[in-house]
Amino acid sequence: MARVKGGTTSNKRRKNILAMTKGYRFGRSTKKRQAREAIFHAGKYAFAHRKDKKNDFRRLWTVRINGALDAMGSEVSYSRLIGAMGKKGILVNRKMLSELALRSPEAFSRVVSQVA
């Protein structure tokens, strides 16, 4: 029986791994073992940071809203604004509030005046 040599399969596997590490520096882009290790780490970071991105954006929206409140000279703080909006039943989320504060401050000030 003829033996099966795995050369083409191995080369294809190596080529695919190295294609995933295109743009990496040094041995991570040229050596299969280092490239595989780099791919594993990159995958872990990508997964973790997809989760972190949600927190980062929420933090950004909070800062924007608070900054807009300070710029208006309003005596209402961010936390009081959010609390009062919940009590009054105004259903505008933080993302939309920050967009209002950034793009149309007059609409944002109307929302704040309804709450305060």
Domains defined along the chain, listed by start: 12-115 (1.10.1900.20)
pLDDT at 116 (0 to 100): 77
Within 10 angstroms of residue 14's Cβ, the number of other Cβ atoms is: 14
The pTM of the full predicted model, rounded to 2 decimals, is 0.74
Q: How many helices (H) and strands (E) does the chain have?
A: 5, 0
pLDDT in tens, 7-49: 999 999 999 999 999 999 999 999 999 999 999 999 999 999 9
Cβ atoms 17, 40 nearer than 8 A: no
pLDDT band at 83 (very low <50, low <70, confident <90, very high): very high
Q: What is the pLDDT of residues 103-112, one digit of tens each?
A: 999 999 999 9
Residues 21 and 38 sit within 8 Å (Cβ to Cβ): yes
Are residues 84 and 76 in contact, defined by beta-carbon separation less than 8 angstroms?
yes
- pLDDT for 89: 93
Res. 1: pLDDT tops 90: no
CA distance linking residue 103 with residue 83, whole number of Å: 23
